[in-house]
Amino acid sequence: MASEDPAVLTKALESLLVEKGLITSTRIDEIVKNYEEDIGPMRGAQVVARAWSDPAYKERLLADGRAAIAELGFTDPHGAELVVTENTDEVHNMVVCTLCSCYPWSVLGLPPTWYKSFAYRSRAVSEPRTVLKEFDLDLPESTEVRVWDSNSDIRYMVLPKRPAGTEGMSEEALAEIVTRDSMIGVGEVARGSAS
């Protein structure tokens, strides 16, 4: 009986493509990297930039993430619920999947390796502030940290705080400074940060 584990099937398919000379391992790595760092997070960044620029859109996004994100043409093929949580000076949200690696693929692409690690999955819940410090995010004690545990039915994405000094920026320019980590909640957006 063939394995039904998607990881095993994927690896088998990759081996076959490489063996037949249809694709090189390097090219596969490039494609994966592209999904991890470019395609996926760029969609989320567009969602964030729209929410920062359009208060009515932001309201819809926080009320029904999946529907508001679908307005931009991004849908989850599995139809999972997508909840967007807003970071403020009072509350900081971060996302984890304690069980495996559930992640809002439709807006962030492939999860980074650390997101899938046992260390992150367990420590994000047991010692979130320490984990955030390791990501160079030192929050004031007065900020409440909320950790959202994803599963196959509900995925979470963080709406990061809009940095000061970006008032005059276009939606397009804003999308360029939104980082993947800020939408997982392990980073903040800086005015000059590149995504």
Residues of this chain that bind Fe ion (CB under 5 A): 97, 99-100, 102
Write down the least CB distance from residue 98 to Fe ion, Å: 8
Write down the least CB distance from residue 120 to Fe ion, Å: 12
Active site (annotated) includes residue 122: no
Catalytic residue, from 3, 25, 100, 122: name it.
100
Q: Is residue 85 helix, strand or coil? A: strand
148 within 8 A of 102, measured Cβ to Cβ: no
- Chain position carrying tokens 């208060």: 55
Phi, psi for 56 (deg, rounded to 5) = -70, -40
> For residues 169 and 186, which CB has a smaller minimum distance to Fe ion in the complex?
186
Dihedral over Cα of 174, 178, 183, 185: its sign: negative
> For residues 99 and 173, which CB has a smaller minimum distance to Fe ion in the complex?
99
> For residues 63 and 100, which CB has a smaller minimum distance to Fe ion in the complex?
100
Angle 172-173-179 (CA atoms, 0-180°, nearest 5)? 100
Write down the least CB distance from residue 102 to Fe ion, Å: 3
> For residues 49 and 186, which CB has a smaller minimum distance to Fe ion in the complex?
186
Active site (annotated) includes residue 106: no
Active site (annotated) includes residue 102: yes
Catalytic residue, from 102, 106, 182, 195: name it.
102
Q: For residues 185 and 147, give the distance between their C-alpha atoms in angstroms, rounded to a whole number.
A: 9
Q: For residues 176 and 195, give the distance between their C-alpha atoms in angstroms, rounded to a whole number.
A: 6
> Active-site residues: which are they?
97, 100-102
